[in-house]
Amino acid sequence: MMRVAVAIVAVWCALIVPAQAASSFGAADTAMAARVVGDDLSGGVLLAVRGNDVVHERAFGALKPRSVIPIASASKWLTAATLMTLVDQGRLALDDPVARFLPAFTGVKARITVRELLSHRSGLPSAPCEGDPSTTLQQCVNEIARGPSPAIEPGTAFRYSGVGFAVAGRIIELLSGTSFQQAFVTRVARPLGMTQTRFDGSGRTHNRNPSPAASARSSVDDYARFLRMLAHDGVGGGRRVLSSASVAEIERDQVAGLDTRGDGAVQITGIPTYGLGVWRDVVGSDDSIEVVSGSGALGFYPWIDRVHDDYGIVAVDDEAHGPEHAVPASQRIARMLWTATAASSG
């Protein structure tokens, strides 16, 4: 049966990608077509852009570039950028202690810095209230403040989770004077024309406790606007959204000197270094960033290639196979895509 299934997939792929088979993007197209069938997905989308030019875009199955899907941890990149707009305004600094904004954080927790929140170095234990629609982000962060102290000294270890981003989201609310969702819209989404991206749900009644780490829903078209801004050094929608320094800080190694190999997320991605809400997929011998990404557990994989001035997205909504399968599967296709994009530049 397995041989029959593989043969069917191979024939199906040959039928739907004949025009691309001989091109540099044929491997990525074929891999995505096979994945959609093999993993029983509704569809998938590939996008690759150089500068301002779309060099490759392909939709498979029912998923289209404007289809809104959950992006899981690709949310973190959006949250980090939202917070960095406040840094650019001088409203806070990354090395400010959390207690400056949230006095309920006392003891060891008071020393946690904003930088540590966004780089998974806070030491805070996971919080069951994160993303719970029955409460609010304010109430959840108050619960985190009252909860157990970090098991390890803040800043001394990398432990991938959403709890630090929840606290960072509450700081964004306090400094912007509005909900986390509205702060994201005002500071990032609206300037870039991102009309399809929300953290707090798509229904008439919105979740008042969205997860800044994982609850966003977006589309390839929408998220590409965000990538375009970052690829253009913080300028998008005809205006500067982030400073050059903030774009660089998001991508800088924030875990230098730490052994991250024991972390579960590092074992899934195979990437040992992390920025602020982003993975540092490929780095140079001098630790300069070459490729950075914001992969999500369901297979949404946005990336920027700094060496070749490219960016793109691999998009699926794989809710059945878990991150251990969905992330590496999208990562493999993303690598095919950015390699083909770089090669096509001549």
For 204-252, the pLDDT digits (tens) are: 678 999 999 999 999 999 999 999 999 999 999 999 999 999 999 999 9
pTM above 0.85, yes or no: yes
Per-residue 3-state assignment (H helix, E strand, C coil) for 261-290: CCCHHHHHHCCCCECCCCEEEEECCCCCEE
The percentage of the chain sitting over the pLDDT mark of 70, rounded to a whole number, equals 92
301-305, strands of its sheet edge to edge:
53-61, 43-50, 310-315, 301-305, 289-293, 279-283
Alpha carbon dihedral 39, 212, 253, 161, in 10-degree steps, equals -70
Which of 2, 83, 49, 90 minimizes the C-alpha distance to 250?
A: 83
Amino acid at 59: A
Measured from the Cβ of residue 344, the count of other Cβ atoms closer than 10 Å reads 16
Mean pLDDT of 166-191: 98
For residue 163, pLDDT over 80 is answered with yes
pLDDT in tens, 115-147: 999 999 999 999 999 999 999 999 999 999 999
Residues in CB range of 203: below 8 A, 6 or more apart: none
The percentage of the chain sitting over the pLDDT mark of 90, rounded to a whole number, equals 90
Model pLDDT, residue 23? 61
Full set of structural domains in the chain with CATH? 72-244 (3.40.710.10)
Tell how strand 235-236 and strand 239-240 pair up.
antiparallel
Range from 163-167, 257-261, 340-344 carrying the lowest mean pLDDT = 340-344
Model pLDDT, residue 9? 43
Measured from the Cβ of residue 137, the count of other Cβ atoms closer than 10 Å reads 28
Model pLDDT, residue 346? 57
Model pLDDT, residue 1? 44
For residue 162, pLDDT over 90 is answered with yes
Would you state the structure tokens that stand for residue 100, as one six-digit string? 């400056």
For residue 29, pLDDT over 90 is answered with yes
pLDDT in tens, 251-271: 999 999 999 999 999 999 999
Residues in CB range of 79: below 8 A, 6 or more apart: 118, 165, 168, 169, 172, 184, 212, 213, 277
Model pLDDT, residue 6? 38
For residue 336, pLDDT over 60 is answered with yes
Mean pLDDT of 306-325: 97
For residue 323, pLDDT over 90 is answered with yes
Mean pLDDT of 37-59: 96
pLDDT band at residue 10 using 50, 70 and 90 as cut-offs? very low
Q: How far, in Å, CA of 117 to CA of 136, rounded? A: 19
Model pLDDT, residue 24? 84
Amino acid at 5: A
Model pLDDT, residue 201? 87
Q: What is the mean pLDDT of the chain?
A: 93
For residue 178, pLDDT over 70 is answered with yes
